[in-house]
Amino acid sequence: MLSRRLLKNLDFTMIGVTLLLILISLVIIGSATHVNSPSEERYWFVERQGLFAVANIVFVFLMLHFDYKSLGKYANILYVLNLVILLAVMFVGQSALGAQRWIQIGPISLQPSEFSKLIMIISLAHMLDKRTGKLNTFKEIIPVFIYVGVPFLLVLKQPDLGTSLVFLAILLGMVFVAGVSLKHFGALLAVGAAFMPIFWHFLKDYQKKRLTVFLDPNIDPLGSGYHIIQSKIAIGSGMLFGKGLFGGTQSQLNFLPENHTDFIFAVIGEELGFIGASIILILYFVLLYRGVKIAGAARDNFGVLLAAGISSMLMFHVLVNVGMTAGIMPVTGIPLPLMSYGVSSLTTNLVSIGILLNIYMRRQKIMF
Amino acid sequence: MDEKRFGHRVDVLAFLAVIVVVALISRLGYLQVVEGKFYGNLADGNRIRLIPVMAPRGTFYDRNGVTLVSNRPGFTVSLVPISGPIQEQVINKLSGIIGVSADEIKQKVSGQTGSFEPIRVKADIGQDVVTRIEEHRAELPGVVIEIQPIRNYVYNELAAHVFGYVSEINDVELAENKAAGYRAGDIIGKFGLEKVYDREIRGVDGGGQVEVDVTGRPVQELGKKEPQPGNNLVLTLDYRIQKAAEEAIAEQLKYLQGTIKRTNAKAAAAVVMNPNNGEILAMVSCPAFNPNFFSSGISTKNWKALNDNPFHPMDNKAISGMYPPGSTFKIVTGTAALELGKVTPEEKILDTGKHWLIPKGNDAGEALGWIDFKVAMAKSDNVYFYEMGNRLGIDNLEKYARLFGLGDYTGINLPGEADGLVANQRYKEKVYGEDWYLSETFDAAIGQGFQLATPLQIASVMSQIANGGHRYRPYLVSKIVTQSGEPVKLFGPEEVGNIKISDRTLTLIREALREVATERGTAGQIFKDFPIPIAGKTGTAENPHGDDHAWFACYAPYNNPRVVVVVVVEQGGYGAEASVPIARKILEAAFNINQAPIENAQMYIPKTAL
């Protein structure tokens, strides 16, 4: 069993916020999938999400018994495994919306790119561990970029633009915290910016469209602009107090497709209004803030880097997902952590939070 | 330790989190509090309608700017299941008004999943039906009438096989083209140029989300995109020649069936081509179909009629019809024999009516006595060419046939081209498992037996004789232009092969072909008073399934070839009798001879693309 000292060191704020967000998500998924309409399978989504939440919470609790430090030992194997899985998606994956993203295992469709984000964080943390403070020459920095670049390109090839952008966010966040020389960091960002037109060239037309349409949804009101217009109407029409749970006309009448997954925040905006949506964003802020604090409190570099990577990932998800539903970010198919329906995403996020708890729990150096 | 050193960087992340959340909350404040009323009104009462506007497809012009294929406005009935599923009684009521069975409507409704776009039930309904739907508007919630462009083939059956037809996209096509933005219910080119250039000419659909009041009247547009019309195609076809060719064929078939009692002469094909670059000036396949029938959804009756016609009106016989080339193949045999020195122009061979090795002879059994190359070609003597086959051997015959491009696709930009067949030993071995016999070489030498060619291939062979051995890829589109006439893509001659024939041989073959169309030759009668000198070759190909197929291939003017014409009449009998008169009428149109006076009357001058 865990020692009393370790249990006492658990981050109860984070646990509380996480559980609260999961409960809210079950209610909102219920609303988005019409649990109030008479149908045999109306609880299907809620039940599944709830079941996986419980299973993951148990799993995370068990994992707390092991020191996160041991993750470092598996970092290289995990990195290779990640590449193998991403390659496997290309060959055996099922496509949705023209992208190869799913692998079917029994009754569960897995989205390997979700897991690969966390695997990336773990293996990159291990790699940067030894380089912390030394990232002040290109000789040290370039290998890091190549290390992330390989899985990044595989994800981009799927094509899953959203996840590949998450990889970039993780990379930047972690390299920054690992103490990269700001001069070199700036230079690399400038080079990256210079490569943008080339990167752009390789995108598929529909991706380009999705990336730019949020600037003016009216250029394609029936295609890629459709979601954005409807999402903005849903959120905007929620006004200050919202239309009440199950009361959102836009989401309940199916104006808004994907409203239990990527566009779930639009349901929140419509049904809970500005006040409810803001409260949920503040809950996310607490989660992110605790994540960053855990990074600051970790006992070793590996822990700092892990926590920083996870925080960067969560922050980017919240920013891009909520920004997308509110029409200020491109539509890239990034789910809202702990809120969007999706077994792979939920598992990844809960395990990530479990790692944060683990790091915080073992923040004090053990004195002999 | 290092954590201390970079502790402030972790604080930067915390600061970023503050900025992110503050930015998002500010955005929500703007949407929900500042603009909330506006969006509230939009959402209120579920008043948003999707109104797609189909882009008109590009226009097809002939080489002189004559509009051949365009669009006309038509009314389309659609269902919009936006306020819940379409009710049974609505479907039944609608079925009664528009004459589409309720089952068919239900099938279309269930076929459209997860989309909020209108389900198109019937295209191109008449004004009377529109009126009846408007009268019953209250009983038909979810039924909308859109104005859609309907594809219009101005001259109905004219060049139908070249243009092709359009109709609603099917599941297979949808799966293939989804990434390119095609959607269920879209109109797509199914055949001919409509299919080949679909992406270029389809344009981009427009539309908008429109807010409507309780009665369904539009109040304001929330986002609107004008449809972008597709690009236009400027074809190499010449409307006058195409029309003349189709009329000449129709007239001649009637004559053959009636006066000559060739009762099965009901199908024919013709190709008119510029030998100097491969431009197709006319292409006819008879019987044809009316592509307008497909534009608004073909009726079962019309579809059955097309399918049951034993002469396959949906096939483009000019490119997919494989016929024994008959005596037109003697051009290939003759070229091979002269080039390989198997015969000299002066050598005379005795035709006693039968060949001395195998008792095969001329069709009518006549004997021409001692004849040289030119006479043999002009009179289309079989015995002489059997001997050429005998001297060449099947392998040399095969080699030269392939050098001319036979047995291979010409590469024309139309779907469904056939590659024909060049007689050869491997084929026989593979298919029949038997050795090659000399009699089969004899057959091959006069374009019978295993030899099969399409009219377009024969046009290509004739072009190579006319232009000195250059094999150009035949093409139908000279340029793709935007609505405002800006060129998007230009097409020009593309040389895909060059059979290097010596000038001596070329001259001899040309002179022999010239004789075909003068007094001594098989086509001499018909061209007796023709003002432009032509060179050509007739062919009468034995057909195991009926009467002989009649061929004629020619070019003109003899000294400066600018047009190649190939005509084949299925079961038409003698080439000279059935096909030559058609070719003459086509040439009359091409050179503006005996034509009714038209505007800007002038001799036809081919434009060179590029």
Contact criterion met (CB < 8 Å) for A328 and B17: no
Do the strands B232-235 and B60-61 form a parallel or antiparallel pair, or are they unpaired?
A: parallel
A147 — pLDDT class (breaks 50, 70, 90):
very high
Among the ranges given (A100-114, A252-266, B185-199, B526-540), the one the predictor scored with the smallest mean pLDDT? A100-114
* CA pair distance A224, B558, nearest whole angstrom: 60
What dihedral angle (degrees, nearest 10) is formed by the CA atoms of B205, B207, B209, B212?
Answer: -140
Residue A204 maps to a domain: yes
Predicted confidence at residue B217, as pLDDT, reads 53
Among the ranges given (A253-257, B91-95, B182-186), the one the predictor scored with the smallest mean pLDDT? A253-257
Contact criterion met (CB < 8 Å) for B223 and A229: yes
Give the pLDDT mean for A348-366.
91
Check if the beta carbon of residue B288 is closer than 8 Å to that of residue B318: no
Residue B605 maps to a domain: no
Three-state secondary structure string covering B299-345: CHHHHHHHHHCCCCCCCCHHHHCCECCHHHHHHHHHHHHHHCCCCCC
Contact criterion met (CB < 8 Å) for A240 and B18: no
**Shortest CA distance from A216: residue in chain B:** B223
Residue B154 maps to a domain: yes
B442 — pLDDT class (breaks 50, 70, 90):
very high
Predicted confidence at residue A151, as pLDDT, reads 92
Tokens of B329: 């193949």
DSSP B218: E
Contact criterion met (CB < 8 Å) for A221 and B37: no
Residues B457 and B357 placed together within one structural domain of the fold: yes
**Shortest CA distance from B45: residue in chain A:** A249
Structural domain harbouring B585: 252-310+320-590
ipTM given for this complex: 0.93
Tokens of B553: 């291939």
Residue B395 maps to a domain: yes
Predicted confidence at residue A159, as pLDDT, reads 76
Contact criterion met (CB < 8 Å) for B179 and A222: no
Residues B153 and B227 placed together within one structural domain of the fold: yes
Residues B217 and B355 placed together within one structural domain of the fold: no
Residues B138 and B265 placed together within one structural domain of the fold: no
pLDDT in tens, A211-232: 888 888 777 766 677 788 888 9
Residues B56 and B28 placed together within one structural domain of the fold: no
* Torsional sign, CA B433, B439, B445, B450: negative
* CA pair distance A357, A68, nearest whole angstrom: 10
Residue B299 maps to a domain: yes
The number of distinct structural domains making up chain A is 1
Which residues of B are less than 8 Å from A266 in CB distance? none
A36 — pLDDT class (breaks 50, 70, 90):
low
**Shortest CA distance from A98: residue in chain B:** B179
The number of distinct structural domains making up chain B is 3
* Residue given tokens 């038509």 in the structure block: B74
Residues with Cβ within 8 Å of A199's Cβ and at least 6 positions away in sequence, in order, are: none
Length of chain A: 368
Residues with Cβ within 8 Å of B22's Cβ and at least 6 positions away in sequence, in order, are: none
Contact criterion met (CB < 8 Å) for B39 and A289: no
C-alpha of B212 from chain center: 45
Residue among B13, B24, B209 whose CB faces A311 most closely: B13
Residues B580 and B441 placed together within one structural domain of the fold: yes
CATH of the domain at B202: 3.90.1310.10
Predicted confidence at residue A98, as pLDDT, reads 47
Which of B5, B8, B9, B117 to probe by mutation at the A interface, max A CB count within 10 Å? Answer: B9
Q: Is B204 in the A-facing interface, judged by CB distances under 8 Å? A: no
DSSP characters for B270-287?
A: EEEE-TTT-BEEEEEEES
* CA pair distance B336, B422, nearest whole angstrom: 14
Contact criterion met (CB < 8 Å) for B38 and A285: no
Residues B209 and B263 placed together within one structural domain of the fold: no
Q: What 3-state DSSP class applies to B544? A: coil
Q: What 3-state DSSP class applies to B202? A: coil
Residue A299 maps to a domain: yes
Distance from CA of A1 to the nearest CA of B (A): 30
Contact criterion met (CB < 8 Å) for A233 and B205: no
Name the more confident of B592 and B296: B592
Report the interhelical angle of A264-297 vs A12-32 (nearest 10°). Answer: 170
Which residues of A are less than 8 Å from B40 in CB distance? 236-237, 239
Contact criterion met (CB < 8 Å) for A277 and B28: yes
Give the pLDDT mean for B485-508.
93
Residues B182 and B283 placed together within one structural domain of the fold: no
Give the pLDDT mean for A63-81.
92
pLDDT in tens, A164-216: 899 999 999 999 999 888 888 888 889 888 888 887 887 777 778 778 888 88
Residues B211 and B335 placed together within one structural domain of the fold: no
Residue B360 maps to a domain: yes
* CA pair distance B546, B254, nearest whole angstrom: 18
Residue A310 maps to a domain: yes
Predicted confidence at residue B3, as pLDDT, reads 44
DSSP A39: -
CATH of the domain at B329: 3.40.710.10
- Tell whether pTM > 0.80: no
Residues B144 and B65 placed together within one structural domain of the fold: yes
* CA pair distance B112, B119, nearest whole angstrom: 7
pLDDT in tens, B583-606: 999 999 999 887 665 444 333 344
pLDDT in tens, B38-68: 888 777 655 666 667 788 999 999 999 999 9
Give the pLDDT mean for B555-561.
93
Tokens of B424: 């050869």
Residues with Cβ within 8 Å of A45's Cβ and at least 6 positions away in sequence, in order, are: A29, A30, A33, A260, A341
Residue B109 maps to a domain: yes
Contact criterion met (CB < 8 Å) for B32 and A250: no
Three-state secondary structure string covering B477-495: EEEEECCCCCEEEECCCCE
Residue B463 maps to a domain: yes
> For residue A338, is it left (φ>0), alpha (ψ between -120 and 50) or beta?
left
Check if the beta carbon of residue B9 is closer than 8 Å to that of residue A177: yes
A241 — pLDDT class (breaks 50, 70, 90):
very high
Predicted confidence at residue B601, as pLDDT, reads 36
Structural domain harbouring A28: 4-361
Residue among B10, B35, B178 whose CB faces A295 most closely: B10
Residue A22 maps to a domain: yes
Predicted confidence at residue B44, as pLDDT, reads 65
Q: Is B35 in the A-facing interface, judged by CB distances under 8 Å? A: yes
What percentage of chain B exceeds 90 in pLDDT? Answer: 57
* Position A18 pLDDT exceeds 70: yes
Which of A136, A209, A233, A289 to probe by mutation at the B interface, max B CB count within 10 Å? Answer: A233
pLDDT in tens, A308-320: 999 999 999 999 9
Mean residue pLDDT across chain B:
87
* Position B610 pLDDT exceeds 50: no
pLDDT in tens, B191-248: 999 999 999 999 988 877 766 554 455 566 667 778 889 999 999 999 999 999 999 9
pLDDT in tens, B83-119: 556 778 888 888 888 888 888 888 877 766 544 566 7
Residue B459 maps to a domain: yes
Check if the beta carbon of residue A266 is closer than 8 Å to that of residue A259: yes
**Shortest CA distance from A282: residue in chain B:** B21
* CA pair distance A14, A364, nearest whole angstrom: 18
Residue A197, Cβ neighbours under 10 Å: how many? 8
Mean residue pLDDT across chain A:
87
What percentage of chain A exceeds 70 in pLDDT? Answer: 92
Residues B541 and B392 placed together within one structural domain of the fold: yes
Among the ranges given (A76-90, A189-203, B339-353), the one the predictor scored with the smallest mean pLDDT? A189-203
Residues B219 and B271 placed together within one structural domain of the fold: no
